[in-house]
Amino acid sequence: MASLELSNVRKAYGATPVLDDVSLTMAAREFVAFLGPSGSGKSTLLRIIAGLETADAGEVRLDGRRIDTLAPGDRGVAMVFQHYALYPHMSVRENMAFGLRNAGVPRQEIAARIDEAARVLEIETQLDKKPGQLSGGQRQRVAIGRAIVKQPRLFLLDEPLSNLDAALRTRTRVELAQLRQRVDAAVIMVTHDQAEAMTLADRIVVMHDRAIQQIGAPMEIYGRPANAFVARFVGSPAMTLAPVSLLADESAFAAVRLGEGARIETRVPRDGLAVGAPLELGVRPENVQVVETSGGVPEAKVELVERLGDRTFVYARLADGLSITAEDAGGSRVRIGDTIGLRIDGAAVHLFTPDGRARHAAAAAA
Ligand SMILES: Nc1ncnc2c1ncn2[C@@H]1O[C@H](COP(=O)(O)OP(=O)(O)OP(=O)(O)O)[C@@H](O)[C@H]1O
């Protein structure tokens, strides 16, 4: 059975629409990440599910039961905020017990649930401390613990790792992935952070312009972005998008010209594309190789070299001004100002029609 179902959810703040007709169905125990730029409505949608905000239209169901008409405490959801929202004057134990006590859960049951959550989160020794005596990572665990003891059907995590420093963030991410195996509930996490979404989520919901742009498994979003926005937003460094024109040709696949020169044979089916039509070509850095300059490949001038240790990215500009990001598998050869050749892997490029929709390469024949 579906766990969460959103149907045609709409929200405006005054005259400003924030969500247009958002619909989504989650599977039982699914982990979904809402990923999108600032202002794309991710938190608003989360708050509507939690009951902290009211939708103007649409319905929210959890395990088949309509919940958008219920008070937040009756919905079977628990939310974890970016800023922990712990009561500073209460101990960790009291923070975790607070909501349960208000809900009339018997004392012994509260104690048992807190012990269990503390064990899962490895905060048994912190239970009598005040939040002020804890590190950021420990506080975030307490906030997660407070959600766990409610035994919700759905966890809502609003940028849960964004206040942690880089090392702790990576560690907590792994812990969250492990924790997720142990709780029998669905999870929605709002994040700006692609790595978080890619590593934790079963499916990613990419939001922009008040709407869901794409819903898919992480590698599907990366490998087959539905449109130019998703293509540009997901992946770091970003996919290069460059204007191209479709060349006349007998082939079943589109051949395009990049800028003034290079002809690129793609594996994107040509059907329905008009010769001369303006298109955008999309190619990820790992599919643009830095090579020796030779007549056959486009040449570009290096503007920036980014050495990340295991990988090196080169930001270069073609003679006609187009900028393109390549991966330099050779590592350290290239310097700013060098003229390099670029080999674009035509089998890996995407094409975008003027409405922004993507056309992908046909799957390679076995
Ligand atoms: N209470 C409010 N009153 C008026 N406008 C609001 C309110 N809350 C959010 N907005 C506006 O709604 C839009 C969506 O905000 P929301 O916080 O949902 O986006 P977000 O994708 O979560 O962004 P961020 O990643 O920055 O948190 C923004 O333009 C924001 O300014």
What is the SS3 string spanning 269-287? ECCCCCCCCEEEEEECHHH
Does residue 153 fall inside a structural domain?
A: yes
Q: Which domain holds residue 294?
A: 240-359
**What per-residue confidence (pLDDT) applies to 366?**
43
Beta-carbon contacts of residue 125 (< 8 Å; ≥ 6 apart): none
Q: What is the pLDDT of residue 189?
A: 95
Give domain status of residue 365, yes or no. no
Q: Give the mutation target among 34, 42, 82 for probing the ligand 1 site: most ligand atoms within 8 A of CB.
A: 42
Report the alpha-carbon distance of residue 32 to residue 50 in Å, rounded: 15
pLDDT for 326: 95
Query: Of 233, 265, 294, which residue is a domain's last?
Result: 233
Tell me how far the alpha carbon of residue 47 lies from the centroid of ligand 1, in angstroms.
11
Judgement on whether residues 229 and 265 belong to the same structural domain of the protein: no
Question: How distant, in Å, are the alpha carbons of 79, 114, 318 from that of 108?
Answer: 24, 10, 70
- DSSP symbols for 36-92: --TTSSHHHHHHHHHTSS--SEEEEEETTEE-TTS-GGGSSEEEE-TT----TTS-H
The whole-number pLDDT of residue 208 equals: 95
CA of 8 to the centre of ligand 1 (A): 19
Beta bridge partners, 341, equal: 291, 299
Cα-Cα end-to-end distance for the chain? 36
Shared domain check, 250 and 216: no
Per-residue pLDDT, 32: 97
Query: What is the Å distance from ligand 1's center to 185 Cα?
Result: 27
**Residue in 40, 194, 206 to alter for ligand 1 test, most ligand atoms within 8 A of Cβ:** 40
Cα(196)–Cα(190) distance, integer angstroms:
10
Q: Are residues 212 and 339 in the same domain?
A: no
Strands 288-291 and 339-344: antiparallel
Number of the ligand 1 atom closest to the C-alpha atom of 36: 21
> ipTM, 2 decimals?
0.94
How far is 149 from 342, CA to CA, in rounded Å?
55
Q: How far is the CA of 172 from the centre of ligand 1 (A)?
A: 26
The verdict on 48 and 149 lying in the same domain is: yes
Domain identity same for 19 and 167: yes
Ligand 1 contacts (CB < 6 A) are 13, 18, 36, 38-44, 192
Domain count, the chain: 2
Q: Give pLDDT, residue 362.
A: 86
Q: Report the chain (366 residues): mean pLDDT per 10 consecutive residues.
A: 90 95 95 94 95 96 95 91 83 92 91 90 90 87 89 91 79 81 89 90 95 96 96 94 88 86 89 85 95 84 92 92 89 86 93 93 68
Length of the chain: 366
Q: Which of 204, 233, 262 is the last residue of a domain?
A: 233
**What is the torsion angle, in degrees rounded to the nearest 10, for the CA atoms of residue 187, residue 189, residue 193 and residue 195?**
0
* CA dist 347 → 268, 269, 280 (Å): 8, 11, 15
Ligand 1, atom 17, residue with closest C-alpha: 43
